[in-house]
Structure 1
Amino acid sequence: MPVSPLKQNLPACLSILLLLVMHAGLSAQTVSVDRGPEVEEAVFFSFDDHAIPWRNNLQLTPVTAEKHPANPVLRRGPEGAPDHGHAILYGSVMFRDGKFRMWYLGMFETAIQSGQAPGWWRPMCYAESDDGIHWTKPNLDLVEFNGNKQNNICLINSEVPALAKVNDFLSVLYDASDPDPQRRFKCAYIAHPPFADVRGGRSKIGPDERRWGAFVCATSADGLTWDVVGDRPMNAGGERFEVSSLYRFGNFYYANGQLLSPWSWRMDGSDTGRVMLAYRSSDFDHWSRAKALSFARPGQLTATPIPGQQTHMGAGIWNRGNVLVGLYGMWQDAPQKPKDGRYWNEGVSVDLGLIVSDDGIHFREPVPDHPVISRGKKGEWDDIALLQGHAFVNRGEKILMWYSHWDTGGKLKNMEIGLATLRRDGFGYLSRKIADNTAHFVTAPFETDGDLKLFVNVEGVSKENLLTVELLDEFDKPLPGYSGNEAARITQAGTRTPIVWSGSRPLPAGKKLAVRVTFPDSTEARFYALYVGNENGS
């Protein structure tokens, strides 16, 4: 049966519509692209086996990011600063209004008290950058701290003060489609209010705790002064929830995060470690009581789970319009339990792995246990465990991704923010698996309406070793004028090389099409992504 179009995932002025169509147990994806005042693009990633389901003699090679030599690029502040204890990207980065904007969590003490930040509060801090490497922390003059307001703490207003205290993961979203400009910045975060301060109660599932893991939402006009939504957590009346990401996809906002047993369990009711779950809301004010299981590491789902494997803090999500890409924490328990029970997770290690979703709910890992960002070697600043952020930006020929170091031993060693980069959209590439055999792929169908074009992100091609690109109709038949001798030929490498057919024919409008890409005889060709969009891209 048809699944709701995902048009509302994008601001109203944008023009890509992703349709998921289900027919008699067969799944097919159709990307419908229509022209509007602005044109976003649909992305067919090499690692997305829903967007590119049909593959012949091709293999996916995942890529590990390079870390910036200046890391950590955002460091903790001086004594007396709200981020003197640590500055961690339990937060978000976006490029907006000509600059990089970062929301992160500070901590003003240099030691954790009873396993938590002092007062269960990590200030929501703000920073800006022109290049994503060199950051400034502007004085916002909003929140009094140490006797003055000369700091970079964002203001959060709430009629329930305990809900305005961020304690853990913070996700910021800019929602241009919201008709109310006062609500276009949205965020979700974890607070730990005393039970007496929580209206709406909580579920009796799980043990009694000193404080409750509350999922809180807030909105803002400028991203600096925020108002908490409602007078209670979004999960009031339910179980605790450690929210870690926020995005809009289709008709819903989604908040992903983590739970473990006894608050969560496998499909058969058996215990599990940390897994990624999702709530949803159609209006950002009222959230579902029911949750979806979004992702678990493969070793968590085997008949006998692999010891120590967990999915840490859900995932940091990058919304590309028709697909979601994310980094999740590849938690591995310590080889043996620490002797100091105060720091129960000492010895835990975490790398960051890649996941992808085409429906906004269910995520999968293209290459299980492949680290996109690996923790550093022993003695390097980020050698213990990594924390993902909601922090991806394509700039020029690169993806910029920010992340944090986590000292699982509780000593706050090097808990600061680093930068890692990849080729633009270069999480992985397709290449020929077996030499001297033909290799090609066929995309899922898409539908166009307007003067849009196709582009390819590829390397290792030349006039002697070229990619051949053909259009197919909805029955997988070659389209005359766009196939055979009239197929497009890609001879130039690049992250956004136009696909041009003989006579510069435009894409046929109003038809279901698929793209067939045939690899050259050379084994050097590497395909990263295909785009349906305009000249400027995203």
Structure 2
Amino acid sequence: MYPDLTPGKHLVLDHHTVADTYRLKRRVHRPTRDPVASVLCADRPWEGESLNVFNVHFNPDTGRHRMWYGIGKPAIARQRRALKSGLAGNIGAPQPYYLCYAESDDGIHWDKPALGIYEDDAGPNNICFKGHSAAGGCGILHRPDAPANERYVLANLDWLSLTTGGVCLAYSADGIHWAYKEPNGPIVFGESDTFNNIVYDPARGMYVVYLRGWHAAAVDWIIDWVGGSGRRMVRKPQAGDDPTASGKGQRADFIAQHGRIKNQRRRVAASQSPDLVNWTEPKIILTPDELDTNDFYGLAVFPYADYFLGQLWVYDDDETETSNIELAFSRDALNWSRLPDRPKFIPIGQPGDVDGFMVRSAQAPVIVGDDIYVYWTGHERPHDDDSWIDPIPDDYIEGRPPAVLRGKLRMDGFISLSADRRLGALITQPFTLQSNRILINAATYGGEITAELVEPYALEPRGKPIEGFEAKDCDVFRADNIHHPLSWNGNHDLTTLRGRRVMLRMSMYQADLYSITL
């Protein structure tokens, strides 16, 4: 049973908003890519071979954009797998992942200011956090109402020693100067080498951090490399395979010769806390099903209207080595839903594009005026290329370093209820009118939308329309408008109905409905 709708904006994603539909389909809308090839790339000596955008914020008061992105230092980045294999415990060697900071007036042209926080052989740099040994997969939460020195919270993967590490929290007053609290042990132990982003759910009073989860259904399966181009074959162990290769010691040599033992698959896990101090045991919250490839690499989560939206990094670790982004949505930040046909929100680009193999999103889009800007990192090379094998195979293709790209959506333009040439309809959950008008965000394409207000019903086949607000009285909508007030007989003032419990029924064809604001 779903609760009545409350005043405010409601996305039309599921039955929390829409009680029933007829001949309508949920449609994912992809961001329109910016015409520039990329808005930021690794072009400084200290930025290395790895770059991933984590967070982009926009301040409407100053008109300035802020970006936090991760980098990896060159030489050790290629050796990280071999280094990790020779250490005791489940935590790998400290990886040289750092957090960098950039600013922009337009979201396209970015400055990398010399912050003077860390010294580097290459000179002044924009590195703002290195953690204890590393700052990996940094997710940043801005809390305007928190104490001044804790208004920014950063969740990152760090190592306190060669055998002890996990997700740690750092704090900052300005988003640039970061420090751990004492004691600064991990809030979650384990190698969460993903985007460890964090959100706050005000309805439950809980912080939620999203982590790397693991499952081990395909225990000790082996991946053999075919050539050096990322083409691979999965098989079960055979006589002659090194049984110790799945553990420590000889694993690095075995990897270089044969591939790697596949005994874990990537999933999305979450831990929650009411106070950023006491955290629950992480639980896996998203697992691939029959329609998915085998790995969920990460989930970038942000609140939007009355939902949490998630950009799910869907990774094919067995065949293509590609990673695309799909949308998921949740009411409580823990229980997630997805569209049944698994449409891609941000697909990889064409072969040869800077995002031709993998895409990974920033945590949240940026809203500027009536537009939504989505940022993601594009990778021209596969995740498990051969750059870490020593010596590098002759047929290895270097490719370009990763780069940050940008795309644009209309307001609320993630998922719509879409009608084709046939007339379709929907009816909302009940709500008590508390405002003077109802707004829709919608677009028609040679079609139209009409609406009527009806009394709540369950057993009656239609529900009784309210006099003066029937479909025949509705002013037909044939336009593209993100803030259109529904009107009847030229009047959109609903003052006479305030305090009355109603449902909204809409008919539409050749149209998209994105949201309803009550």
Cα separation, 1, equivalents of 2:401 and 2:436: 47
Q: Match of 2:438, SS?
A: strand
1:401-440 to 2 correspondence within 5 Å?
Answer: 401-406=374-379, 407=381, 408=383, 409=385, 410=387, 413-432=400-419, 435=422, 438-440=423-425
**1:299/1:309 contact within 8 Å kept:** no
Q: 1:516 to 1:219 in 2, by over 3 A?
A: farther
Is the CA contact (8 Å cut-off) linking 1:241 and 1:258 kept in structure 2? yes
What amino acid is the match of 1:505? Answer: D
Question: Where in structure 1 do 4 or more consecutive aligned residues deviate above 6 Å?
Answer: none
From the superposition, tell whether residues 171 and 477 of structure 1 become closer, same or farther in structure 2 (CA, over 3 Å): farther
Distance 1:263 1:240, change over 3 A: farther
Which of 380-389 and 494-503 deviates more?
494-503
The corresponding residue for 1:454 is 438
Q: Which residue of structure 1 lines up, in the alignment, with residue 238 of structure 2?
A: none
Return the alpha-carbon distance in structure 2 between the equivalents of residues 483 and 422 of structure 1: 33
Pair 528,147 (structure 1): closer, same or farther in 2 beyond 3 Å: closer
- Correspondence for 1:85: 49
Answer whether contact 1:256 1:279 (CA < 8 A) is retained. Answer: yes
After superposition, the Cα gap between the structure-2 partners of 1:92 and 1:57, relative to the gap in structure 1 and judged at 3 Å, is: same
Q: How far is 1:192 from its partner?
A: 3.5
Kindly state the Cα deviation for residue 311 of structure 1 after the two structures are TM-superposed.
Answer: 0.9
Deviation at 1:488, TM superposition (A): 5.3
**Distance in 2 separating the partners of 1:426 and 1:360:** 20
How many corresponding residue pairs? Answer: 439
User: 1:185-264 residue pairs with structure 2 within 5 A?
Assistant: 185-194=152-161, 198=164, 212=165, 214-236=166-188, 239-242=190-193, 244-249=196-201, 250=203, 251-262=205-216
For 1:389 and 1:425, how far apart are their aligned partners in 2?
18
State the SS of the aligned residue for 2:215: coil
Contact 2:31–2:407 (Cα < 8 Å) also in 1? yes
Equivalent residue number for residue 115 of structure 1: 80
Residue ranges of structure 1 left out of the alignment (5+ in a row): 1-26, 34-40, 199-211, 266-270, 301-305, 336-346, 533-538
Per-residue deviation, 1:448? 5.5
Q: 2-side partners of 1:104 and 1:470: how far apart?
A: 48
3-state SS in 1 of match to 2:149: helix
Structure 1: distance between partners of 2:120 and 2:210: 31
Task: Tell me what 1:23 maps to.
Answer: none
1:97-496 equivalences under 5 Å are 97-109=62-74, 112-115=77-80, 120-146=95-121, 150-155=124-129, 161-162=132-133, 165-166=134-135, 168-178=136-146, 180-194=147-161, 198=164, 212=165, 214-236=166-188, 239-242=190-193, 244-249=196-201, 250=203, 251-262=205-216, 273-289=265-281, 291-299=282-290, 308-313=293-298, 315-335=299-319, 348-406=321-379, 407=381, 408=383, 409=385, 410=387, 413-432=400-419, 435=422, 438-447=423-432, 449=434, 451=435, 453-460=437-444, 465-475=447-457, 477-487=464-474, 489-496=476-483
Tell me the residue number matched to 1:506. 494
Q: Cα gap change, 1:488/1:320 in structure 2, threshold over 3 Å: closer, same or farther?
A: farther
Cα offset, 1:84, TM superposition: 4.0
Partner of 1:530: 516
Q: 1:252 to 1:512 in 2, by over 3 A?
A: farther
Q: Where does residue 515 of structure 1 map in the other structure?
A: 504
With normalisation by structure 1, the TM-score equals: 0.73
Matched letter for residue 115 of structure 1: R
Cα distance in 2, alignment partners of residues 120 and 110 from structure 1: 11
Deviation at 1:247, TM superposition (A): 0.8
Whole-Å separation in 1 of the counterparts to 2:442 and 2:469: 20
Q: Which amino acid aligns with 1:261?
A: H
Give the aligned residue type for 2:98.
P
| Matched position secondary structure for 2:355 | coil
Shift of 1:529: 2.2
1:404 partner amino acid:
T
- What is the rounded CA distance, in whole Å, between the counterparts of 1:219 and 1:281 in structure 2? 16
The AA in structure 2 aligned to 1:283 is: D
Identical aligned pairs, as a percentage?
A: 19
Which deviations, in whole Å up to 9, do the C-alpha atoms of 1:193-228 show, x marking residues without a partner?
Answer: 4255x4xxxxxxxxxxxxx4x111122211111222
- CA RMSD after TM alignment: 3.1
Decide whether the 8 Å contact of 1:71 with 1:419 is kept in 2: no
Partners of 1:529 and 1:277 lie apart in 2 by 30
